[in-house]
Amino acid sequence: MAEECNHNCGSCSQSCDHRIEKAKLNEYSKVKKIIGVISGKGGVGKSLVSSLLASGLAKKGHRVGILDADITGPSIPKSFGIKEKATGENGIIYPAISKLGIQIMSANMLLENEDDPIIWRGPMIGDLVKQFYTDVLWLNVDYMVVDMPPGTGDVALTTFQYLPVDGIIIVTSPQDLVAGIVRKAIKMANEMNVPILGLVENMSYVECPKCAEKIYIYGQSHVDVIAKQFGLSVLGKIPLREDISQLVDKGEVEDIDLNNLDDAITKIENM
């Protein structure tokens, strides 16, 4: 491997044994931009942010796809109320289509029972992520949102290496423990030479329904400090709201009325 490799084989002229070529779409598909949504750990709302970003982009008239790369913890189909299984023919897999026309592919759509676990080793999971990109019929997608697996492990590495990701958004929550893990995600993205669009904080606060006072139940946020430390932007802070969780549980994430991610959506549109 060449010295000081930045893992970006697409911009490298070296010929080495470790060279990785980007995965290619099938001849029927077209994707203009790919946005990865990542987190340093699970449970901070990465899939919620992925769903809200996709819905917001679709509401603005863009053709959107979601590639659910969180293979062992897929939640995208439930958020959008998708129960049907994936179908296909001649080696092409057809994605499900949401109410807003969002094209969705997830591991849950391959299981006979959506509650069945996927007990696979990392390489098999990585291969499925690549197959979701190469074998699914992505029709004229302006923005593909990739709901990444949590952490900085094997599948995240595979996604960064094989998919031509144009930028990522990192999701965090206010706890100090999470803040430290977010720094690891930022450093991983920088080492992989993947542009970071900014940070989004979920569960940022609770708003009093009577006086609109913001209550910081997890303590004061660290996201602005982290963003400043790495020269990044905070693209949104999502409150804890009962209606958000209720609509997601009912499969109606597209009906959530929330403008807290407007800056993130604008940032994606201006990529």
CA–CA dist 120, 71 (Å, integer): 9
CA–CA dist 219, 206 (Å, integer): 11
Q: 43-75: per-residue pLDDT in tens?
A: 889 999 999 999 999 999 999 999 999 887 789
CA–CA dist 38, 165 (Å, integer): 12
Question: How many C-alpha atoms does 130 have within 13 Å on its Cβ side?
Answer: 17
| CA angle, 132 then 137 then 143, to 5° | 80
The pLDDT value given to residue 15? 41
Instruction: List the chain residues with pLDDT less than 70.
Output: 1-19, 113-123, 152, 176-178
The pLDDT value given to residue 154? 74
- CB neighbourhood size of 88 (10 A): 12
CA–CA dist 6, 194 (Å, integer): 10
CA–CA dist 110, 85 (Å, integer): 6
The pLDDT value given to residue 151? 72
- CB neighbourhood size of 249 (10 A): 11
Pairing of strands 167-172, 31-39: parallel
The pLDDT value given to residue 54? 98
* pTM for this prediction: 0.89
6: Cβ contacts below 8 Å, ≥ 6 apart: 12, 191, 192, 193
**Residue 170, amino acid:** I
CA–CA dist 188, 185 (Å, integer): 5
Q: 215-229: per-residue pLDDT in tens?
A: 998 888 888 988 998
CA–CA dist 259, 237 (Å, integer): 10
The pLDDT value given to residue 267? 97
User: Which segments of the chain does DSSP mark as H helices, in order?
Assistant: 46-59, 76-79, 122-134, 154-162, 176-191, 223-230, 242-249, 262-269
CA–CA dist 47, 146 (Å, integer): 9
Cα 13 to Cα 20, 21, 119: the distances in Å are: 12, 12, 38
